[in-house]
Amino acid sequence: MATADFESLVSAVESETPIEFDGLRIDREDDAYTVETSEGTQTGLEEADLQQALEPIAEYVTNWDYWQRSVGGDGTARRAFLRWCERAPLEDDGGNGADTDRPTDEETLAVPARYESLRDGIDREWGQLAITTRFVDVDEHGGERVYDCWHVDDADTDLTDLEVYDDPLDAREIATYDEDGRYRPLKTAPTLVSGWAFTGLSGSELVETVEFFYPATVANWHREQRAALDVDHWFETAERQTGIYDVIDELPREAVDWMAEACCVDSQCLRRREWQYEEDDDLDVDGGDGTFPCREPCSLVVAAARKWTILESEEERHYELELTTSEFNQLAELIDAVAEGRTDEIREADVNDGANRFRARYLRAKRFDEEGSLEARDQRDD
C-alpha cells in the first residue's frame, strides 16, 4: 500500500469521521476507531493501530484514495461515468431521492472483485466504443487507473495494427467522416470508423474523448441515472420551431411513428429514444436498447420532418401501371435494399437480387418513359 494513501485516509478520518465509501466504514468514538468492511470488523483501535488494521484491507484504502483524491467531483457526470466503466455501484446523488430510475440489471462489483478484474482490465461498451479500465501498476501506484478506448470492431485487433492517439481532441477528427469519407451529420449513427485506439488516458481525458465521439451522451445518461432527464417530446419540439421549420407541427401523428422507425431505431442511431409524440402519448415504435438516452428530436430529424411534412401534405392518387409479378416484387426489394443501406453489398453478378444494379437498369430500360418516370396512368386522368 502506498504510504501516501494511508496518510490521506488517516487525516481524513481525523477530520470527517465516519468515513463510509465503497464498502469501507471507519468510525471513531472518543479515541477508539472501528474499521469495517465485508471482510470483517475491527473495534477499539487506537490511532497508532490504524495503519496495521488497514494493511490487510489495503484495496479499500487505495480505492478510497483514487476516488476521493484523484477523481473527486462528487455528484458529477464524469465521476458517475468512470464508476460505470469499472462496474462500481453508482453513488447516491446527495440523498435527493432521485435515483429511482437506475437500471436494475447492471452487474456491479464490490472492491475485492473489482480489484481482481482491474488487473486484467474491465471492458464496457458505449455505443461503438469499447472502453477498458485497468490499473497503471497496482504495486507501484496503488489504485491509480488508466483508460483505453477503441472501436468495438477492433476488440481483437493487435494494438500495433491500430493508429494510436493520446489527445482527446483527435476523437473529433475521427468521428467526422464514415469509412467511405462521407460527412457524418449524426454523431451517434453506427457508422464510426475503426482502426484507431486511445491508450493510457486519465479519467478526465477518457470522458473528454467519449464526448468528442458522442456529444452530451455522458451528461444525459447521468441525468437519467438520477431520474432528472428532461425529455422534450415531439409535439412541443415541433411547436417551438420557427422559420422554415415552423411547418413541422403539421406532420400527421402516424407519420411521426414512421419517422421514428426510419431514423431512430438502433440500426440508425445508437441513442435510446426517450421522447414520444407527447407526454402520455407514446409512439408505437420501440425506442431501442442504447446505453445512453435521446432526450429530444435532433436537428437531423427536425430537418427530415420538414421534408415529410411537405410530402404528407400532398393528396394521394391512384396510378395504374403494368408490371409482372416479379417486377412488382422487385420494387419492394429495391426500396428495402436502399433503406437498409445494403446496395453496396450486392454483387454485380447476383442477378437473383432484385436490387442488383443490372436488374434495376433493366427495369428502368423496360418501364420508364423518355422523361425518366415510371410509365403509369393517373386514374384521375380518366
Cis amide bond preceding 18, omega within 30: yes
301 lies in the site for ligand SF4, by CB under 6 A: yes
Burial (CB count <10 Å: 0-12, 13-18, 19+), residue 14: exposed
Measured between its terminal Cα atoms, the distance across the chain in Å is 90
Candidates 66, 57, 215; CA nearest to 147 is 66
CA distance 121 to 115: 9
Closest CB 187 distance from ligand SF4, rounded Å: 9
Shorter beta-carbon distance to ligand SF4: residue 14 or 340:
340
> CB within 8 A of 373, min separation 6: which ones?
none
Q: Give the separation between CA 114 and CA 82, rounded to whole angstroms.
A: 13
Burial of 230 (0-12, 13-18, 19+ CB in 10 A): exposed
* Shortest Å, Cβ 249 to ligand SF4: 16
Does 376 contact ligand SF4 by CB under 6 A?
Answer: no
Among 297, 355, 356, 359, binds ligand SF4 (CB under 6 A): 297
Which residue from 50, 146, 171, 294 is in contact with ligand SF4, where contact means CB under 6 A? 294
Q: Scan residues 227-266 and list those touching ligand SF4 (CB under 6 A).
A: 263-264
> Should residue 129 be labelled a site residue for ligand SF4 when binding is judged by CB under 6 A?
no
The span from the CA of 181 to the CA of 234, in Å, is: 32
269 forms part of the interface with ligand SF4 (CB under 6 A): yes
Cβ 36 to ligand SF4, closest distance in Å?
A: 45
Give 223 or 271: the residue with its C-beta nearer to ligand SF4. 271
Single residue of 83, 87, 273, 359 touching ligand SF4 by CB under 6 A: 273
Q: Which is nearer to ligand SF4, 151 or 273 (CB)?
A: 273
State which of residues 19, 138, 300, 376 lies at the interface with ligand SF4 (CB under 6 A): 300
Q: Identify whether the C-beta of residue 5 lies closer than 8 Å to the C-beta of residue 61.
A: yes
Select the span of 12-20, 23-31, 297-305, 362-370 touching ligand SF4 (CB under 6 A).
297-305
Give the nearest distance from C-beta 75 to ligand SF4 in angstroms.
Answer: 26
- Grid cell at residue 209: 474523448
> What is the smallest separation between the CB atom of 220 and ligand SF4, expressed in angstroms?
10
User: What are the C-alpha distances in Å from 292 to residues 74, 81, 271?
Assistant: 21, 11, 6
Separation of alpha carbons 209 and 202, rounded Å: 10
Q: Would you count residue 363 as binding ligand SF4 (CB under 6 A)?
A: no
Smallest distance, Å, CB 300 to ligand SF4? 6
Letters for 165-194 (x = contact with ligand SF4 by CB under 6 A, - = none) are ---------------------x-x------
Asked if residue 91 lies in contact with residue 83, where contact means CB atoms within 8 angstroms, the answer is yes
Tell me if 298 contacts ligand SF4 by CB under 6 A.
yes
Binding site for ligand SF4 (CB under 6 A): 186, 188, 263-264, 269, 271, 273, 294, 297-298, 300-301
